[in-house]
Chains A and B, each alone.
Chain A
Amino acid sequence: DTGVSQDPRHKITKRGQNVTFRCDPISEHNRLYWYRQTLGQGPEFLTYFQNEAQLEKSRLLSDRFSAERPKGSFSTLEIQRTEQGDSAMYLCASSLVLVRGRRDYGYTFGSGTRLTVV
């Protein structure tokens, strides 16, 4: 396993179009996170999954955003009716949380998908 993979690496889209990003986590990791990062800022949390269940969503995740993780494996992040303010790097991370959640061994991040809305 080569780590967390994200596809595509870059996406340019016109305002109003829908886009979908994919994240393939490390296979034995049961948690998957989505973050967004704009220039000069640290990554901002969007949402996370434990297996296939979406357990938390940030207020940053407007109703135009939807994330799924069918079967607890890969995840997709869709943005509908994109706006110029959606331009950012979208980062995916995965981690292993032990049974009963008593220990988290830290995140492994992918290289991100850079979205440009024109």
Chain B
Amino acid sequence: DAKTTQPPSMDCAEGRAANLPCNHSTISGNEYVYWYRQIHSQGPQYIIHGLKNNETNEMASLIITEDRKSSTLILPHATLRDTAVYYCIVRFTGTASKLTFGTGTRLQVTL
């Protein structure tokens, strides 16, 4: 699986959009970009994933650049409950592929 690079930490004011970047310059054509988050003392939670098109669900939006070498997770209106570590993961969706976590981005949402 391709490696990812994320900033170690970010701050965001409550109510504002949180934009979390991820670089995955060695991604291959059939690897997906997944985002998970982990709130303190809980297991990681799936947020969203995509291949090359932008994706949106009830939690977030995922913007993938045209060359697929980077992506941005957008939380449109961050709340205090969005404070967590966010992991960007690149993987195949085949049988042999497991999730490989990096150290993620610690997002702190403040009043």
* CB <8 Å contact, A44 and B101: yes
| A103 interfacial contact with B, CB 8 Å | yes
Most buried by B among A102, A109, A111: A109
| A25 interfacial contact with B, CB 8 Å | no
| A13 interfacial contact with B, CB 8 Å | no
Chain B residues with CB under 8 Å of A93's CB are: 43-44, 99
Chain A residues with CB under 8 Å of B29's CB are: none
Given A101-B94, A104-B93, verify A43-B45 contact (CB < 8 Å): no
* CB <8 Å contact, A107 and B103: no
* CB <8 Å contact, B97 and A104: yes
Cα A103 to Cα B93 in complex, Å, equals: 6
Given A97-B95, A101-B94, verify A107-B101 contact (CB < 8 Å): no
Chain B's interface: helix, strand, loop or mixed, by majority? loop
Cα A56 to Cα B36 in complex, Å, equals: 22
| B49 interfacial contact with A, CB 8 Å | yes
* CB <8 Å contact, A109 and B43: yes
* CB <8 Å contact, A102 and B94: yes
Given A104-B94, A106-B34, verify A45-B43 contact (CB < 8 Å): no
| A73 interfacial contact with B, CB 8 Å | no
Cα A106 to Cα B37 in complex, Å, equals: 13
> B49: which of A40, A48, A106 is its contact (CB, 8 Å)?
A106
* CB <8 Å contact, B87 and A42: yes
Cα A112 to Cα B99 in complex, Å, equals: 17
> B103: which of A41, A48, A104 is its contact (CB, 8 Å)?
A41
* CB <8 Å contact, B95 and A42: no
A contacts, CB < 8 Å to B: 4, 33, 35, 40-45, 48, 50, 56, 91, 93, 97, 101-104, 106-112
In the assembled complex, 26 residue pairs joining A and B whose CB atoms fall closer than 8 Å, in A order, are A33-B99, A40-B103, A42-B85, A42-B101, A42-B102, A43-B44, A44-B101, A45-B98, A45-B99, A45-B100, A48-B98, A91-B44, A93-B43, A101-B95, A102-B94, A102-B95, A104-B94, A106-B34, A107-B99, A108-B46, A109-B42, A109-B43, A111-B41, A111-B42, A111-B43, A112-B42
